[in-house]
Amino acid sequence: METVVSGIRSTGNLHLGNYFGAIRNFVKMQHEHRCFFFIADYHSLTTHPTPGDLHRNVRQVLIEYLAAGIDPNAATLYIQSDVPEVTELYLLLNMNAYKGELERCTSFKEKIRKQPDNVNAGLLTYPVLMAADIIIHKASKVPVGKDQEQHLEMARTFANRFNRLYKTDYFPPPYAFNFDMELVKVPGLDGATKMGKSESEGNAIFLSDDPKAIKKKVMRATTDSGPERPGEEMSQPIENLFNLMRVVSSEDTLNHFLDAFNKATIRYGDLKKQLTEDMISFTKPLRERILELDADNQYLAKVARMGAEKARESAAKTVREVREIIGFKTF
Ligand code: TYM
C-alpha cells in the first residue's frame, strides 16, 4: 500500500480535463492505497476571490468530487484550509526554495503573462505550497494531469533537499502518476491544446453542464475546412476533437471517424454530433448526482468534518516530527 495525495484548486466547476487527468485515477486508487484528496482553497487565493465566491467554489468542488465517485469512507477527502499544519510546513520549506528556480517554473511565467498586475509572492511560491500538500502525508504517488509534471519535479526537489540538509530519509520522493498510461492532457474545444477553467469561453465541458450547453459548445468547436485528399495531416483543432473522442467515445466510434478522416470522406458535423452524444451520456449520471448532493448540506458538512479530522491527524504527526528534525525543542 502506498500513500497517495492529490488536490484540485477551487476556482470553478470541474471539467472533463480534471476528470480524466485526475479524478478518474482517484476513484481507481481509493480502495487500494492510503489516499488523501483535497480541495486546494489556499491555492485559489492567488487570484483574490471574494469570500462568497471562495466558499461557493469550495462547496462545488466537494460536491463534484463526491459525484465523481470519491468514497469519503475509503479516501480522506478534505479541504486544504482545514489543515493549517500545511502552512507551517510551507513556511519551513520556503527557507530552502530559491528565487531562481521558482522564477523558472513554467506555470509562474505563464501567470506573469496572464495577470501582469497581480504577480504576488503566493504565485511565486505556489510550487512550495504544493510540495507541502504532498509531503505532509509523506506521499509517494500523486495522480495528476500532464500540466502538473513540473510541479511534481519541484516537489521532489524540495523533499530531497530537506532530506539532504538534515541528513535524513524522512520524506519519500513524490512522483506524478497516472493509473494505466502516461500523464493525460485533455484538449479544449477552442483549438487550445489544454482544457482549462480559466481558458476562453467554450473551451471546457464541465461535469455539471446540461445537454444543451454541451451541444452548443461542441457544435461551436473550432474545426478546419476538412481534408482534401486521403492521408492528409490533421490540424490541431481536429486532433483535439479526436483526442476528446478518445476519452468519451468507444473505440469503434473513434476508429470509424479516424477512418473517414483518413479517406477524406469525413463530415465534421457528424463527428460533432457523435461527440456531443457521447459527452452527454458520460456526464449525465454525474450531473444527476451533483444536483442531489447540492441539496444535502448536512451530508457535505459531515464529509468535510470527517476529512478534516483524518487529514489533520496525519499532517500534525509529520509537522511534529519535522520540527524535531529541524531542531525546534521544547524547554
Ligand atoms: P488544477 O486545479 O488546475 O487541476 C486539477 C487536476 O486536473 C488536472 N487537469 C488536467 N488533466 C488533463 N487535461 C487537462 N486539460 C487538465 N486540466 C486540469 C490537473 O493536472 C490536476 O491534476 N496545483 C494544482 C492543485 C494542487 C495539487 C496539489 C495537485 C494543489 N496542491 C498537490 C496535486 C498535489 C492545480 O492547480 O490543479
Closest CA to 59 of 301, 286, 288: 301
Q: In the prediction, which pLDDT does 102 show?
A: 98
Q: Which residues are identified as catalytic? A: 111, 194, 197
Burial class (CB in 10 A: 0-12, 13-18, 19+), 211: middle
3-state secondary structure of 21: helix
pLDDT of residue 197: 81
The pLDDT score that the predictor gives to residue 193 is 83
> Which residue's CA lies nearest to atom 22 of ligand 1?
144
C-alpha cell belonging to residue 78: 478534505
Query: Across the strands, what pairs with 8?
Result: 39
Paired with 9 in beta bridges are 40
CA of 21 to the centre of ligand 1 (A): 8
CA distance 170 to 177: 21
* All domains of the chain in start order, with CATH: 3-177+297-326 (3.40.50.620), 211-291 (1.10.240.10)
Contact yes or no for 290/207 (Cβ under 8 A): yes
31 Cα–ligand 1 center, Å? 21
Measure 323 CA to ligand 1 centroid, in angstroms.
29
C-alpha cell at 277: 452524444
Task: For the chain of 331 residues, list the mean pLDDT of each consecutive stretch of 10.
Answer: 96 95 96 97 96 97 98 98 98 98 96 94 98 98 96 98 98 93 92 83 93 96 92 93 96 97 96 97 96 97 98 98 95 84
β partners of residue 143: 177
According to the model, what pLDDT value does residue 181 have?
A: 80
Q: Residues 6 or more apart from 2 whose CB is under 8 A from it?
A: 33, 34, 139, 140, 141
What pLDDT is stored for residue 179 in this prediction?
83
- Cα–Cα dist 12/267, whole Å: 34
Instruction: Please give the model's pTM, rounded to 2 decimal places.
Output: 0.95
Region of residue 300 (left: phi > 0; alpha: psi -120 to 50; beta: else): alpha
Q: What is the pLDDT of residue 267?
A: 95
Question: Whose CA is closest to atom 6 on ligand 1?
Answer: 18
What are the cell numbers at 48? Answer: 483574490
What's the pLDDT score for residue 201?
Answer: 81
Output the ligand 1 site: residues, CB below 6 A. 5-9, 17-18, 21-22, 40, 43, 130, 133-134, 142, 144-145, 147-148, 184-186, 194-196
H or E stretch covering 282: helix 268-294
